[in-house]
């Protein structure tokens, strides 16, 4: 599908995050089944998920969650109005490094929808840098009635 959302400001209008908390910079591709986003906010000293030692790799889950929310919003826009969703379950999470802030350049964030129902969706996610996975797993997203 065409990519209607390329700027961070446009993404922030579709997900419940704005300002520095909107972590995604652009959509590379999306379809009904998958979205690929790019981000460089992991290098920002004012990233709101940073702690005193840097940006932990666990923050990659928030990058993936925002990609899932954006995917849901883009799909819902094609079908109607988006609904509020919450990550209900994380599973099969695999960490491949401790931090994100020391990675130069872009992160690639892929969220692949595995299943969808009226009550939510299941996604596989992969956050990578320069072709190598940083954190990956699966998430169950519950939708508000």
Distance CA 31, CA 27 (A): 11
Beta carbons within 8 Å of 53's beta carbon, 6+ residues apart: 99
Nearest of 129, 76, 79, 133 to residue 104 by alpha carbon: 129
Is residue 63 within 8 A of residue 23, CB to CB? The reply is yes
* pLDDT tens figures, 71-100: 998 988 656 666 788 899 999 999 999 999
* pLDDT classification of 69: cutoffs 50, 70, 90: very high
- Round the average pLDDT of the chain to a whole number and report it: 91
* pLDDT tens figures, 104-140: 999 999 999 999 988 889 999 999 999 999 999 999 9
Is residue 130 within 8 A of residue 72, CB to CB? The reply is no
pLDDT value at residue 4 = 55
Is residue 59 within 8 A of residue 106, CB to CB? The reply is no
* pLDDT classification of 5: cutoffs 50, 70, 90: low
| Domains of the chain in sequence order | 8-143 (3.10.129.10)
pTM: 0.92
């Amino acid at each position: 599908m065409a990519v209607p959302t390329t700027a961070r400001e446009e993404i922030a209008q579709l997900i419940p995050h704005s300002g520095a908390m909107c972590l995604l910079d652009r959509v590379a591709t999306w379809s009904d089944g998958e979205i690929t986003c790019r981000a460089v906010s992991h290098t920002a000293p004012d990233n709101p998920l940073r702690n005193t030692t840097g940006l932990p790799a666990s923050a990659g889950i928030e990058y993936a969650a925002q990609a899932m929310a954006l995917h849901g919003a883009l799909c819902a826009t094609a079908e109607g109005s988006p609904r509020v969703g919450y990550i209900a379950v994380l599973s099969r999470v695999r960490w491949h490094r401790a931090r994100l802030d020391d990675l130069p350049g872009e992160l690639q964030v892929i969220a692949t929808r595995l299943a969808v129902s009226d009550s939510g969706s299941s996604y596989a996610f992969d956050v990578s840098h320069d072709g190598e996975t940083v954190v990956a797993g699966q998430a169950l997203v519950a939708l508000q009635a």
